[in-house]
């Protein structure tokens, strides 16, 4: 049935853990898609005072999303700006660095191994690379009581503050004036809401074939990995954040998602809520809602314990 299965795959891969500062649940579901292309990061021990979470929605394959989950944390920890307290700059530089790594011989070989599901270190010929994939990238770093959200693409992070949904990222779509202007400056075009008539997002990690204009900086390419970064100071009014790919946001507004979670959060385990959220967003058939609810779905709920300490 075209790019869809005849029956959705509804089994879920769900995780739950907590520390003295927060608890989280994450889950992903393939749904109606032929393959699963999402990946995620859930790390409660990023450093002594930080946790990090991320959703990476692949397109054209899962290779780049998987590559990001393998390298983002270490590259961020290796970044001098991170240790100097310039967290926003460090996140931006790390996103761009992930593109650079894919262009190295080692990066190319790793993408081939991921594509072929080969063990690490397996011999491959870098000339075999046919990966033309990319992924959206939304990452939430909680450092002490500071929340940093970096986003490139149309996955999203939403904060629940006293029951009100606060968007902490902007969906990067080609028709947004700022995005469209960059695309045209980079000698690209937008057709039917898609970059070069193909991609329906304007920022991503990977998609390197859209990043070949050598006359402009890396962040100014028609598809850019450069993320927006937003910083929030977390206080007692802040209840939880939810990160999810567009498979969820196509079906729920930010406020609807917050309401769904908040109505259940004091009565059910977090891992049950996250699974119910994905089921809520799954279409009953591929013919319903013009294909909405038929995508891969990945989501993470991070619930804060107050006061947030630095321990």
Q: What is the 3-state secondary structure (H, E, C) of 165-213?
A: EEECCCCCCCCCHHHHHHHHHCCCCEECCEECCCECCCECEECHHHCCC
Mean predicted lDDT score pLDDT of the chain: 94
Mean local confidence (pLDDT), 18-34: 96
* Confidence bin at 308 (pLDDT 50/70/90): confident
The string of pLDDT tens digits covering residues 119-134 is: 988 888 877 666 678 9
| Cis upstream peptide for 307 (omega within 30°) | yes
Please indicate whether residue 287 or residue 154 has the higher confidence score (pLDDT): 154
Q: Kindly state the tokens that stand for 65.
A: 């999303």
CA distance readout (Å), 297 to 57, 186, 275, 307: 9, 32, 10, 32
The listed range with the strongest mean pLDDT (100-114, 131-145, 220-234) is: 220-234
In this predicted model, what pLDDT tens digit does every residue of 54-75 receive, in sequence order? 999 999 999 999 999 999 999 9
Secondary element (H or E) of residue 291: none
Asked if 138 contacts 243 with a C-beta cutoff of 8 angstroms, the reply is yes
Phi, psi of 192 (to 5 degrees): 55, 40
Q: How many other CB atoms sit within 10 Å of the CB of residue 203?
A: 30
Which residue bears the tokens 């902007």? 170
pLDDT digits (tens, 9 = 90+) for 158-203: 999 999 999 999 999 999 999 999 999 999 999 999 999 999 999 9
Token pair for residue 293? 């609810």
Per-residue pLDDT, averaged over 288-302, amounts to 89
pLDDT interval class at 38 (50, 70, 90): very high
**CATH class name, domain 4-281:** alpha beta
Look at the chain and count its residues: 311
How high is the pLDDT of residue 131? 65
**Cα-to-chain-centroid distance, residue 84:** 25
pLDDT of residue 233: 97
**223 and 199 in contact (C-beta within 8 Å)?**
yes
* DSSP secondary structure of 212-277: --TTS-GGGSSSB-PPEEEEEE--TTEEEEEEE-HHHHTTS-HHHHHHHHHTTTTTS-HHHHHHHH
> pLDDT per residue over 83-94, tens digit each?
999 999 999 999
pLDDT at 2: 54
Task: Over range 39-48, report the average pLDDT.
Answer: 95
* Residue 11 pLDDT greater than 90, yes or no: yes
Residues above pLDDT 70, as percent of the chain: 96
> Mean pLDDT, to the nearest integer, of 142-165?
97
What residues contact residue 127 under an 8 Å CB cut-off, 6+ apart? none
- The CA distance from 161 to 232, in Å, is 11
Question: How do residues 228-280 score in pLDDT, each as one tens digit?
Answer: 999 999 999 999 999 999 999 999 999 999 999 999 999 999 999 999 999 99
| Percent of the chain's residues with pLDDT above 90 | 87
Asked if pLDDT for residue 303 goes beyond 60, the answer is yes
């Amino acid at each position: 049935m075209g790019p869809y299965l005849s029956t959705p795959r509804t089994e879920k891969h769900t995780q739950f853990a907590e520390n003295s500062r927060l608890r989280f649940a994450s889950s992903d579901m393939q749904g109606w898609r032929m393959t699963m292309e999402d990946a995620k990061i859930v790390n409660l021990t990023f450093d002594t005072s930080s946790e990090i979470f991320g959703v990476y929605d692949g397109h054209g394959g899962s290779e780049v999303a998987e590559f990001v989950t393998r390298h983002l944390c270490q590259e961020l920890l290796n970044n001098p700006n991170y240790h100097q307290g310039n967290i926003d700059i460090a996140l931006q530089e790390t996103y761009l660095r992930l593109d650079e790594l894919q262009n190295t011989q080692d990066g190319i070989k790793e993408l081939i191994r991921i594509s072929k599901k080969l063990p690490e270190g397996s011999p491959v010929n870098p000339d075999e690379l046919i990966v033309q994939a990319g992924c959206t990238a939304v990452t939430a770093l909680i450092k002490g009581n500071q929340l940093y959200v970096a986003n490139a693409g149309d996955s999203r992070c939403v904060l629940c503050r006293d029951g009100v949904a606060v968007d902490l990222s902007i969906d990067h779509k080609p028709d947004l004036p700022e995005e469209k202007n960059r695309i045209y400056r980079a000698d690209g075009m937008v057709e039917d809401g898609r970059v070069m008539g193909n991609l329906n997002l304007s920022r991503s990690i990977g998609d390197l074939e859209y990043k070949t204009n050598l006359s402009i900086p890396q962040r100014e390419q028609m598809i850019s990995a450069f993320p927006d970064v937003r910083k929030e100071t977390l206080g007692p009014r802040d209840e939880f954040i939810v990160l999810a790919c567009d498979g969820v946001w196509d079906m729920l507004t930010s406020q609807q998602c917050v309401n769904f979670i908040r109505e259940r959060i004091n009565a059910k385990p977090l891992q049950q809520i996250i699974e119910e959220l994905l089921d809520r967003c799954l279409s009953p058939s591929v013919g319903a809602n013009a294909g909405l609810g038929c995508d891969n779905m990945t989501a993470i709920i991070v619930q804060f314990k107050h006061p947030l300490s630095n321990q």
